[in-house]
Amino acid sequence: METSIKKTLSSAKRLGIMGGTFDPIHYGHLVAAETARVELGLDYVLFIPAGEPPHKKKLKITDAELRFKMVEISIKNNEYFKASRIEINRKGPSYTIDTLRELHRFFPKQDLFFITGTDAMMDILAWRQPEEIFKLAKVISASRPGYESQKHLAEIYSKFPISKNRLYQLEIPALAISSSYIRSRIGNNKSVRYLLPDEVIKLIEDNKLYVNV
Ligand code: NAP
């Protein structure tokens, strides 16, 4: 873990961990992180772009360095947001449990809150060591408006009773934006202005990302 981040976050009591592939990051992610920060009283939110998302081995994803750069420039004006290369630097698939263990080692006294999209979280039963994930962190599940998750949530609660008091649902209207929607608009040569920060759009254009999707 980056020394400067360790130093800054060591004073935190409640630490948000924003996990995602971020291909690309957009305003939906940023609003979700800010809403989680405010609603759950988090001191900081640490964005952790997945190095090798374990469930996307066969999919083409953008180079991790570019995804990290897009995250970095998107959060630079929010003093409560930081970005870490912890998953990018770790070799092999980016399992959330490994990341949480590492963070718990660095921040043993802090309350950890893992924030991710509800669609991603609904698969948590298939992730590596889900029960351990709930032991190490509370989970904040950010959903699109109108997302129907009750059936899946009931399954998670019944399989892992520990999750009952450790799983928070946040509805984020801005999550009507999605990375796949942005990639498909760029592929169809359509404007993506106002869906993500201008500087990220510039980086996407300079590197000709998503033109052949
Ligand atoms: P994904 O499958 O690409 O995304 C599923 C859905 O969740 C998409 O609608 C996505 O929207 C949304 N989403 C993803 N991250 C989000 C976030 N931080 N805030 C709000 N919405 C979000 O999921 P992913 O991004 O690759 O993975 C999400 C997290 O789960 C990552 O930290 C990943 O490492 C972890 N994960 C762990 C395991 C494991 O440990 N075995 C397996 C799978 C995922 P967008 O496309 O717009 O982002």
Per-residue pLDDT band for 54 (boundaries 50, 70, 90) equals: confident
Q: Count structural domains, the chain.
A: 1
Band of pLDDT at residue 55, cut at 50, 70 and 90: confident
Q: Rounded to two decimals, what is the model's pTM?
A: 0.96
Which one has a higher pLDDT value, 60 or 30?
30
d(CA 89, ligand 1 centre) in Å: 19
User: Which one of 119, 127, 143 would you pick to mutate in the ligand 1 pocket, going by the greatest count of ligand atoms within 8 A of its CB?
Assistant: 119
Q: How many CA atoms lie within 13 A of 116 on its CB side?
A: 19
Q: Which pLDDT belongs to residue 19?
A: 96
Check residues 93 and 147 and name the one with the higher pLDDT.
Answer: 93
Give me the pLDDT at residue 32, please: 98
pLDDT greater at residue 132 or residue 153: 132
In 3D space, the residue among 3, 92, 1, 86 whose CA is nearest the CA of residue 48 turns out to be 86
Task: Identify whether 190 is part of a domain.
Answer: no
Determine the pLDDT at residue 99. Answer: 98
Give the best-scoring range by mean pLDDT among 55-64, 116-125, 178-187: 178-187
Residue 193 lies in a domain: no
Q: Could you give the count of Cα atoms lying within 13 Å of 28 in the half-sphere of its Cβ? A: 26
Cis peptide before 24 (omega within 30 of 0): yes
Q: How far apart are CA 59 and CA 49, in angstroms?
A: 16
Structure tokens at 58: 């066969």
Name all residues whose Cβ lies below 6 A of ligand 1. Answer: 18-21, 28-29, 32, 50, 53-55, 94-96, 115-117, 119-120, 127-128, 142, 175, 178-180
Mean pLDDT computed over 177-187? 97
- Nearest Cα residue to atom 28 of ligand 1: 20
The answer to whether residue 57 scores a pLDDT higher than 80 is: no
Spatial distance between the Cα atoms of 98 and 190, rounded to a whole number of angstroms: 39
**Alpha carbon distance 70, 81 (integer Å):** 14
Average pLDDT over residues 11-15: 96
Could you read off the pLDDT of 107-120 as tens digits, one per residue?
Answer: 999 999 999 999 88
* pLDDT at residue number 189: 96
In a domain, residue 112? The reply is: yes
Residue bearing the CA closest to ligand 1, atom 29: 20
Cβ pair 27, 107 in contact under 8 A: no
Q: Of all atoms in ligand 1, which is nearest to the CA of residue 178?
A: 47
Atom of ligand 1 lying closest to residue 96 CA: 40
Q: Which mutation among 21, 122, 140, 180 tests ligand 1's pocket best, with the greatest number of atoms within 8 A of CB?
A: 21
Please check whether residue 37 lies inside any domain of the structure: yes
Indicate which CATH number applies to the domain containing 146. Answer: 3.40.50.620
Between helix 198-206 and helix 64-75 the angle, nearest 10°, is 160
Query: What's the domain range around 90?
Result: 3-178
